[in-house]
Structure 1
Amino acid sequence: MMISWDLILPVAAAMMAGGLVGIERTYHGHPAGFRTHILVCMTSCVLMLAAMHQATWAFVALPDQRLVIDPTRMSHGILTGIGFLCAGVIFREGFSVHGLTTAASLWTTSAIGVMFGVGMWNLGLIAAGATLLVLAILRFLDARLPHVGVMDVTLRWTRDTAPEEATLHELLAENGLKSVRIGHVISADCQFHEHHIKARGPMPLNVAGLSRRLGQQTGLAGFSVMPRDD
């Protein structure tokens, strides 16, 4: 069996492109990072190379039969199957959903591997560069664009001290926030009443001010203020 550079170079390029995207994800502490993106991009490339070189497959066609194989079916299977892996990095915490950007980067990385596998080097390199541009450079632009921020607030009150929702609305409004949703949880022993709040406000969010204000509340046994960042 001879190893051809036509096989080695696309795989190496796919590993490099996937690794660059993975470095950005790893640097920012996301669950699918360096090695995961390399494996996704490399595997997509290998599968497409196999589909593009079907003339070398060890199978025997039926006598007097002409076999016509469509390699695009392999890419359809890859991009469909990668959805299961992407679903693994998306998780919900309270009212927040995290991991959407990382899932999108895995899906894009898979497509980049497909481009290298079918020999479209120029499009693969363009896609890899554009992905890095969006993830690394546009991150700073996104942080400076005027937009509304979202945070998850959890308040744990001792028994019979939990305020009415109207009071919570006023408390949030003092710090430039507006509640979108308020959930109620009572502990099993009925000793604590928790409020799970999804709040919005103009960026930058006044997290420090809200935390100081919550620390002054009588009957508040504990609280959590978590700005959403994906």
Structure 2
Amino acid sequence: MSVGEVNVVLVHGAWADGSSWGKVIHGLKARGMNAIAAALPLTSLGDDVAALNRTLERIDGPVVLAGHAYAGAVIGSVRAENVAALVYVAALAPDEGETVADVFYRGETHPQAPKLAPDSHGLIWLPEDAFAAAFAQHATAQEVQLLAAVQRPIAAACIGEKVARPLWKDRPSWFLVAEEDRMISPATQHFMARRMGAEVHSCEADHAPIVTAAQTVTDLIVKAAQAVLDR
């Protein structure tokens, strides 16, 4: 078997959509891999898990499931049997009984991190200037413009739900720490990765390595896929 026989499902985080994985998708396709970007409604953690499960139901064969940022909580909450490995990219990995907020606010807040609060509809938007200042400070001006233009708000309900036993306790996992992340403390990322027992990699990237360090992300996903084949 080749890595092309392992499927990859990519899951976006808050304030993003599947297009944020564009460079990684192209990189995986170039290596002959089937890559799909799952769409999350970002309305509640339960809704997001259900949406991801619907995507996974459509796929035959083993899956490497990769999540960015908030999506770490989502990929850790599915129970699909075809998920063979998990890849966390600057992602949040709450343990059983924890919420996304518990881990997101665990470390010190970066001075340039935006102040976040829900609007009258219970939705949390990222201020437009935060994309260049904290979300993707290493991105090009064009990339920042696109990220800001397609942003989708996350419901406050998503970050307040306690998670059940996370899948990373039962599947092998890889974790890419973004050492220059201004949204999720790198120290918190290292803490979560160690707690998970993940294979840890790090790079000098901002919060959006899927955009600004796409080759590194692609290489890590391919490594996870190869490990699935080698088992």
Q: Under a length normalisation based on structure 2, what TM-score does the superposition of the two structures give? A: 0.23
Which is helix-richer, 1 or 2?
1
Q: Under a length normalisation based on structure 1, what TM-score does the superposition of the two structures give? A: 0.23
Q: Between the two structures, name the one with larger relative contact order (CA 8 Å, sep ≥ 6).
A: 2
Larger radius of gyration: 1
